Amino acid sequence: MNAPLGGLPPLVALCGAHWRLEAPVVAVAWSRRGGPAAFAMGDGGVVFARPPTQPGGQGAPGLVRMEAHAGACLALAADPAGGLVSGGDDGRLLHLDPAAGAASAPAVLADHRGEWLDHVAVSARGLRACASGRRVWLHGPGSEAVLELASGVTALAFDPAGGRLAIAGHGGVELWSAADGARRRLEAPGYHRALAWSPDGRYLASGMQENALCCWRLGDGQRHLFEGYPGQPRALGFAARGHLLASNGGPRVVSWDLDHPRPASTRSESGYPGRVPVSALAWHPSRALLAAGYHNGAVLLCRPGSDQHLFVQGSGAGPVTALAWAADGAALALGTQHGELAVVAIPAQILSMARAA
């Protein structure tokens, strides 16, 4: 995996822009109104970048940095109303508007001084959630609340409609309803460390510390447990139609067909058949195409269930910590633990080769 096959340069050299900073990239998200990619940095800043407009990386605007948190920026999420929401180890929940420029100060949505806000989530209905320890704070129109949990919160995720908040922890996942504040417990033994909703809201998946993946079909409460991972599946993602669930947890991306009568029998693998663990992944928003990041810094585009792949970036940039597609699927943003970050305009010819997902 050290270099692309056939001597072809990786996509980042052909149609991307690339930078190296001094702090690790913690998370990445795209502003949802055609804005730039935003990178949450371990030194407290948030950096904005746009893909190049011309071949060879030409035409890419420079980075714009906004000072956000006094210590480290720990979490980042796109705000459906525009801009980004971030949480940090200074206890502040912030709203950042990239259109306002680097000189502008982020808006403070909440100040929970003394807390480390290492999880944030934003709903389509305007609710913002953040968590520290065993508490979740909810901020938004008519919904200021604090939820106390039985165990430490390890992940937060609103469903696509914005009406339910999933809260992961020990022994299962809790669902909080924005309509009436009711709480529903989805029990499953083990420590749940990552969450993902299917785009249609039918499925909720959690990655477990016990090297397993749990998935609930919420309509009838049916639960599936997928085992056999060599490591913890902490990066999860659904195909656009919501029927395929992909995860890391080993040296290849593993996918499951949830609409099959026996989902546990449908395991398929994607990407480079090597030994380097997958550290991050992201489904294309409309195509049958996966972006996979590895612990050695390589990033590939993969066909689900196939060994076929295309290098976006070669190895050597440190573990890939964050991957995200732009909402229109025309660009990919990536970041690494060693402070490498890039935005790549994916050629339309490549996207047209992947069928609709």
pLDDT in tens, 113-146: 999 999 999 999 999 999 999 999 999 887 789 9
Report the b/e string of 317-332 with b at 16+ CB within 10 A. Answer: bbbbbbbbbbeebebb
> Nearest to residue 124, comparing CAs of 178, 48, 45?
178
61: pLDDT strictly greater than 80: no
Q: What is the mean pLDDT of residues 312-336?
A: 96
Q: What is the pLDDT of residues 19-29, one digit of tens each?
A: 999 999 999 99
Rounded mean pLDDT, 74-100: 94
Tokens 């546990």 found at: 264
| pTM, two decimal places | 0.94
Q: Is the pLDDT of residue 7 over 70?
A: no
User: pLDDT confidence of 210, banded at 50, 70, 90?
Assistant: very high
| Distance (Å, whole) CA 182 – CA 171 | 19
pLDDT attached to residue 357: 66
